[in-house]
Amino acid sequence: MPYQESLVAPMRAEMTEMGAAELRTVADVDAAIGSATGTTLVFVNSVCGCAAGNARPAVKMALGHSALPDRTVTVFAGQDVDAVARARSYLGEYQPSSPSIALLRDGEVVHFVHRHQIEGRSPQAIAADLTKAFDTYCSNSVGA
Amino acid sequence: MSGHVFHPGHHDLHGITVVLETDVELWVGRFDSVTPKGVLLHDAGCYEDGVTEGTREEYLRKTLKFGVRATTKNKLIPEDAVRGMRQLAEIAGHD
């Protein structure tokens, strides 16, 4: 059962304020991910304070890096159920968990951060994983 | 909002993905609590000796790469059946 929207609104805002496009419908997801070329960071948001409370700041830190994905999008697990299911359909063999973070290049998952890789870790450590992946897979450099 | 926890007073492992071993099975799931009926896991996947293809180690390697293939929403495992429990992240060797 979804949480009250007023409760999750700040968590949505935390993502959109850092530049992530929020995808709330299947059509949104298909438009953003379905035929996207280049690199796309997909953040599966969650109300879970244990893990998402560190994941969102980690993404924000990572988006301050020099190499960046072409676009960053977010879906909210447990809230926008259809959109999340559609987003997960683009993630191949990777199993659902939330929060989680996928980096896609030309529609293929090239890096995945599972919930178990977020739990108990600092935002800095999670961000370091992400920026390493950005360096490897993303050619979109700030100021380039 | 960052760092906000909705479930204060919980067990230290609450919300953490754990690997729980019994004599014949290995479960991977999100720890909830220890209840009078046993350890409660959510969204759990299971390796069953002699039934599941491959070894326990291979099952864990695949889980580390692709995530938990959950087959059970809620799983209670009697405490006296538990031979060991550790965080999945420990196996991955994260800081």
Q: What is the pLDDT of residues A27-62, one digit of tens each?
A: 999 999 998 899 999 999 999 777 888 999 999 999
Q: b/e per residue, A121-142, with b = 16+ CB within 10 A?
A: bebeebbbbbbebbeeebeeee
pLDDT at A15 over 80: yes
Query: pLDDT per residue over B14-36, tens digit each?
Result: 999 999 999 999 999 999 999 99
A56: Cα separation from own chain's centroid: 9
ipTM over 0.95? The verdict is no
Residue B89 has its nearest CB partner, among A47, A100, A116, at A116
Write out the residues of chain A at the interface with chain B, using a CB-CB cutoff of 8 A: 10-11, 14, 47-51, 53-54, 56-57, 93-97, 100, 112, 114-117, 119-121, 123, 125
Amino acid letter for position B6: F
Question: What stretches in chain B show pLDDT beneath 70?
Answer: 1-9, 94-95
Write the CB contacts of B39 (distance below 8 Å, at least 6 apart in sequence).
B20, B31, B33, B76, B77, B79, B82, B85
* pLDDT value of position A1: 75
Q: Which residues of B touch A121 (CB under 8 A)?
A: 89, 94-95
Q: Which residues of A touch B2 (CB under 8 A)?
A: 14, 53-54, 56-57, 123
User: What's the gap in Å between the CA of A144 and the closest CA on chain B?
Assistant: 31
* pLDDT value of position B8: 56
For tokens 């196996």, what's the residue? B91
CB contact under 8 A, B67 and A114: yes
Q: Minimal CA–CA distance to B16: which of B79, B82, B92, B83?
A: B92
What 3 state SS string does B38-57 have? EEEEEEEEEEECCCCCCCHH
Q: What is the mean pLDDT of chain A?
A: 94
Q: Which residues of B touch A115 (CB under 8 A)?
A: 17, 30, 67
* Pairs from A105-108 (Cβ < 8 Å, separation ≥ 24): A105/A38, A105/A39, A105/A40, A105/A137, A106/A36, A106/A37, A106/A38, A107/A33, A107/A35, A107/A36, A107/A37
Q: How many A/B residue pairs have CB atoms within 8 Å?
A: 73
